[in-house]
Amino acid sequence: MSLGNFSSLALDVGGVLLFYSASNIKTLTPRQISNALDSPIWHDYERGKVSKKICYDRICRQFGFDPNTWIEALDTMRESLHPNVELIDEIKRLKLVNPQLKVFGLSNISAEDFQQLKPLVDTWGIFDEFYASCLTSQRKPDVACYERFLEDGKISPETCVFVDDRIENVVVAQSLGFRSLHFNDTPSAVTTLRNLFGDPVSRGLDFLSRNAKKLFLYPDDSDTTSLAMLVLDDITPEEEAFAVEQILSHLSPDGLPYALGIENKRDVKTLLETQQIDGGWERQWLWKYGKEAVKIGSRGVVTAMAVRAIKQAREDG
């Protein structure tokens, strides 16, 4: 089983690739601004159905804002905009190692803001195409917005990863078959994207190669010997037979566990999703010894086991 079956990536802009702050606005509270930006009239403005003047006038009447105060608040928010450089660089890297990957922008944005931001967005060089609500007249989380995107891009939702910071947008995309990612923070998003678009086996082997002779070593015993037999590819049949004979000569009264031969897709999926950004897997406690039950673990052993398990699952599948 592999998660590397995705060929396209759709990303929100505000709150994902661009951050802004309302903390410097003193005349309106963040709640007041949020309520106004989530109002039906603002949504129609983002769809391009009403002009900026009509939208601003109605917002001020509905929420009791002074027009100048509202304009200044929006200007202050625009001035605070700054790109998510770490995520943008990661998308560039993904496109470099996956030349067939198509990246799309899917944003709720007014015509005015789109024209102001487009030069900046173009400098990133990450989008193959950009779908702005002001141009399509559809906005998230309306189903029609996603359907328009899929139809125009000739994309199957099962092959597309969708990233957004608004949970309602993520839920609708998930219901349509997208692999949805709710953006909470950049490091976890980068890790998830690498796991979805990368090859877990090659990344795991690369981690082991980079950290060769740097990882914790544990004395040889039945556990480490059996693990080595599972991981290493250059063990001769004679060596395997001798090791098995030695292990079987020291069985506990309970004997060996049975292998049922059942494919566990859920565990394989979990294994694929938990690969870390450096290609390895997190350290797990594999052994303990002594009166105080001192725990012993190794990222190298866990990564080697994970790589072998994924390779075996692919062969069996």
- CA–CA dist 270, 277 (Å, integer): 15
Residue 218 has pLDDT above 70, yes or no: no
Kindly give, in sequence order, each residue whose CB lies less than 8 Å from that of residue 96, ignoring residues fewer than 6 positions away.
Answer: none
Q: How many CB atoms lie within 10 A of CB 207?
A: 22
The whole-angstrom separation of Cα 237 and Cα 91 is 45
Read off the pLDDT of each residue in 251-265 and give the average, rounded to a whole number: 61
Which residue has 């009447």 as its token pair? Answer: 61
pLDDT at 207 over 90: no
Taking 50 as the threshold, does the pLDDT of residue 1 lie above it? no
User: Around Cβ 190, how many Cβ atoms within 10 Å?
Assistant: 18
Compute the C-alpha angle 309/313/315, nearest 5°: 115
3-state SS assignment for residue 9: strand
115-119, 204-208, 265-269, 272-276 — most confident range: 115-119
Taking the C-alpha atoms of residue 265 and residue 189, their distance in angstroms, rounded to an integer, is 23
Domain ranges of the chain: 8-18+81-198, 21-79, 202-316
For residue 211, the tally of other CB atoms under 10 A from its CB is 15
CB 310 within 8 A of CB 295: no
Report the DSSP beta bridge partners of residue 181. Answer: 163
Q: Which two tokens stand for residue 275?
A: 């690969």
Mean pLDDT over 151-172 rounds to 96
Measured CA to CA in angstroms, residue 207 lies from 146, 229, 281, 300 at distances of 38, 20, 9, 8
Fold for the domain defined by 8-18+81-198: Rossmann fold (3.40.50)
Which of the residue ranges 12-26, 40-54, 202-216, 297-311 would you say has the lowest mean pLDDT?
202-216
Smallest CA-to-CA distance from 229 within 220, 240, 237, 221 is with 240
Please write the tens of the pLDDT for every residue from 61-92: 999 999 999 999 999 999 999 999 999 999 99
Q: What is the DSSP string of 60-77?
A: HHHHT--HHHHHHHHHHH
What DSSP element (H or E) covers 10? strand 8-11
pLDDT at 258 over 50: no
- Give the list of residues 6+ apart from residue 94 with CB closer than 8 angstroms, or none: 9, 101, 103, 193, 194, 197
pLDDT confidence of residue 244:
80
Distance separating alpha carbons of residues 122 and 138, to the nearest angstrom: 22
How many Cβ atoms from other residues are within 10 Å of residue 163's Cβ?
Answer: 25
Torsion of CA 152, 154, 156, 160, to 10 degrees: -70
Taking the C-alpha atoms of residue 215 and residue 303, their distance in angstroms, rounded to an integer, is: 11
